[in-house]
Amino acid sequence: MNLIHFLNKMLQICNQITQELFMSEVNTIESTLQENRLFEPSKGFVSNSPMNADALASLYQKAEEDYEGFWGDLARKEIAWVKPFTKTLDESNAPKFTWFEDGELNVSYNCIDRHLVSSQHKTAIIFEGERGDTRYITYGELAEEVNKFANALRAQGVGKGDRVVIYMPMIPEAVFAMQACARIGAIHSVVFGGFSAEALGDRIEDTQAKVVVTADGGYRAGRIVKLKENVDKALANRCDSVKKVIVLNRTDNDVIWQEGRDIWWHEAVANMPTECKPMVMKAEDPLFILYTSGSTGKPKGIQHSSAGYLLGSIMTMKWVFDVRPEHDIYWCTADVGWITGHSYVAYGPLAVGATMLMYEGAPTVPDAGRFWKIIEDHKVTTFYTAPTAIRALMKSGDDYPNRYDLSSLRLLGTVGEPINPEAWMWYHNVIGYENCPIVDTWWQTETGMNMIAPIPSVTPTKPGSCTRPLPGIMAAIVDEEGHEITQPNQGGYLVIKKPWPAMLRTVWGDDARYKETYFSLFGNDMYIAGDNARRDEDGYIWIMGRVDDVLNVSGHRLGTMEIESALVAHPKVAEAAIVGRPHDIKGESVMAFVVPKGNRPVQGDDTQLIQELRDWVADQIGPIAKPDVIRFSDNLPKTRSGKIMRRLLRQIAKGEAINQDTSTLENEDIIKQLQGKA
């Protein structure tokens, strides 16, 4: 594209108003999203990248012509197998798919041991604590730490297939613990440190974990998060499966000790050998379970495989992050409690032998310049974060980033929710010095790997679009009948038409729920992502929000029903409905409409109950699920058949005019109550 053309496009956009990203009813909406700016990869980036347009085109062609051959060749090339596989994909038991099934490997061997010959002294992890403590861990040291902890887990009775729940701060030991599980074939389930004791207990129960690995505390936003205390609460009167709790001393805060059950990490590893033979695992053996919210019921334990999952992280580290292990410092800010922290902290960067950075704390400690200072101090080349963080830091002003030298950066990434063009432009200009491609990566806990994202040396980007599906990812947008939508800019269901190696294998212990959630709508060969999306004239994909009752708060997935169940479990609540409300930093925030038992507190008199309910939700689920706004009403608006009128509630939450028939309501007054006007 020549310069004039480009400038024209820029001019065009000046006339456009901000893009609107909305939760819409699927299919019928013709989107008003308009974003025509196109950013070509910078010249310097292109000339240094091993990937060019021709190489990419042949990848797509190969995937199109010989799908199994495409993934099979990559798996043979990129994974160190103990025993090679003979069959790539088995679809005979669809929608339960298996990949590389008769192959054998060990994931931790692939992430650590295979780099030791050439990179034993290379830094694997750069760690920075919130209070400024730093650590540099080489691949050689990583091997020793992981092996010692793997031996310690074994000594505590953990064997192949056993579950280990990890509830840790963002510190290297969290990665050691995950890798140690992989080494001995135990299945880890990391629970985000921001989840409450109650939520932790639910996950421990569901996995029937034998061991919980935690820390006395972690530093976050200037405070100590008391993780061990939450574990004690979670285990009180339930979770009988748990035999041992291994506790890392991170903060030296006081903890209550249960003799016989609790054991300090440093004592557990004290006499352990620094070698631990990796357990030979089958390709399909589960590597981990990670819980995520859906529109119904309790959070689902998403079960991932060993080989297919590993391949997904490796390929996307190369394709999307263009990783050059020789000189990159790769920093993904996600917590290991989320899938991003699995694929792009604990596994991907190590599997390709890169140097990665981990930061323990909040982006605003001691001030909003912390991320930028870390980038300068450690010469970070690749930075991957969430739109909510970008928006929050943008709001703090340009002074913070301008204080630091960010010229080491060569690639920026975003994940978790659609990024608004304003935040994209700021990221591009102020952080990337107009010189770093931005990879907007669409994927999910279930997909295991980036699915729709630019190839930074090839794909021109548009602010707000995750661009095109990666090679070998057969994404499509379909209508209610499952027919592909060919017209541009028509919204529809985002689906994946073929199984891919890193996909979830099932919902832990619940195949029926797996089939029902992901394959019931369009049959066994179409995975339903749960997102609404459209493709523009150039074939670029734009994610338009969830089609189900799932909220995306600061890039975190929250089921409305989960929060509703938490609320109605409160003795003063009769009924509750949760909807999302647009929020300029979080993307969406939680809004609750509550019918209290007994008399409805009038406005002004309701602050105490609001506080009580907010704290209650934080206790039941975690602070991220706390409603920002709670409104009380005598009733919830329902249709004649008794369904809560959620669209109406969403309109109220957005402060929009109500264009729905409310004649079924017994009491028209409740609209005013819901609007906070009565």
Does 445 sit near ligand WT7 (CB under 6 A)?
Answer: yes
Does 466 sit near ligand WT7 (CB under 6 A)?
Answer: yes
Residue numbers 492-551 binding ligand WT7 by CB under 6 A: 529-531, 543, 546
202, 335, 417, 588: residue in contact with ligand WT7 (rule CB under 6 A): 417
**Candidate segments 188-196, 207-215, 416-424, 630-638, binder of ligand WT7 by CB under 6 A:** 416-424
Dihedral in degrees, nearest 10, Cα atoms 392, 397, 398, 399: -120
Residues forming a β-bridge with 134: 128
CB closer to ligand WT7, 128 vs 335? 335
Within 13 Å of residue 671, how many CA atoms lie on the same side as its CB? 17
**What character string, x for contact with ligand WT7 (CB under 6 A) and - otherwise, covers 254-293?**
--------------------------------------x-
| CA 160, chain centre distance (Å) | 26
Total interface residues for ligand WT7 by CB under 6 A: 22
Sign of the C-alpha dihedral computed for residues 253, 258, 264 and 267 taken in this order: positive
Angle at 648 between CA 610 and CA 633, to 5 degrees: 35
Cα distances (Å, whole numbers) of residue 145 to 149, 152, 608: 6, 10, 49
31, 313, 340, 589: residue in contact with ligand WT7 (rule CB under 6 A): 340
Does 420 sit near ligand WT7 (CB under 6 A)?
Answer: no
Residue numbers 557-586 binding ligand WT7 by CB under 6 A: 557
CB closer to ligand WT7, 375 vs 547? 547
CB closer to ligand WT7, 339 vs 406? 339
| CA 516, chain centre distance (Å) | 22
Angle at 658 between CA 654 and CA 664, to 5 degrees: 125
**Candidate segments 325-333, 361-369, 390-398, 440-448, binder of ligand WT7 by CB under 6 A:** 440-448
CB closer to ligand WT7, 179 vs 441? 441
**What character string, x for contact with ligand WT7 (CB under 6 A) and - otherwise, covers 291-320?**
-x----------------------------
CB closer to ligand WT7, 180 vs 529? 529
The pair of structure tokens assigned to 290 is 């990670």
CB closer to ligand WT7, 467 vs 620? 467
106, 207, 552, 633: residue in contact with ligand WT7 (rule CB under 6 A): 552
Is 73:249 a contact under the CB 8 Å cutoff?
Answer: no
The SS3 call for residue 227 is: helix
Shortest reach from residue 453's CB to ligand WT7, in Å: 8
* DSSP structure class, residue 451: -
Pairing outcome for strands 123-128 and 134-138: antiparallel
Does 444 sit near ligand WT7 (CB under 6 A)?
Answer: yes
* DSSP structure class, residue 342: I
Does 442 sit near ligand WT7 (CB under 6 A)?
Answer: yes
Shortest reach from residue 329's CB to ligand WT7, in Å: 22
Is 256:232 a contact under the CB 8 Å cutoff?
Answer: yes
CB closer to ligand WT7, 186 vs 438? 438
Shortest reach from residue 511's CB to ligand WT7, in Å: 20
Shortest reach from residue 524's CB to ligand WT7, in Å: 21
- Max distance between CA atoms of the chain, in angstroms, equals 75
The pair of structure tokens assigned to 647 is 């669209």
How far is residue 483's CA from residue 545's CA, in Å, rounded to a whole number?
20
Residue numbers 84-103 binding ligand WT7 by CB under 6 A: none
CA nearest neighbour of 547 among 563, 528, 562? 528
CB closer to ligand WT7, 557 vs 570? 557
* Residue 327 CB contacts under 8 Å (≥ 6 apart), including other chains: 381
Residues forming a β-bridge with 469: 452
**Candidate segments 70-78, 258-266, 413-421, 663-671, binder of ligand WT7 by CB under 6 A:** 413-421
Residue numbers 23-62 binding ligand WT7 by CB under 6 A: none
How far is residue 236's CA from residue 249's CA, in Å, rounded to a whole number?
22
- φ, ψ of residue 399 in degrees (nearest 5): -55, -40
Residues forming a β-bridge with 451: none
CB closer to ligand WT7, 441 vs 651? 441
103, 341, 418, 454: residue in contact with ligand WT7 (rule CB under 6 A): 418
CB closer to ligand WT7, 453 vs 595? 453
Residues that bind ligand WT7 (CB under 6 A): 292, 339-340, 415-418, 440-445, 466, 529-531, 543, 546, 552, 555, 557
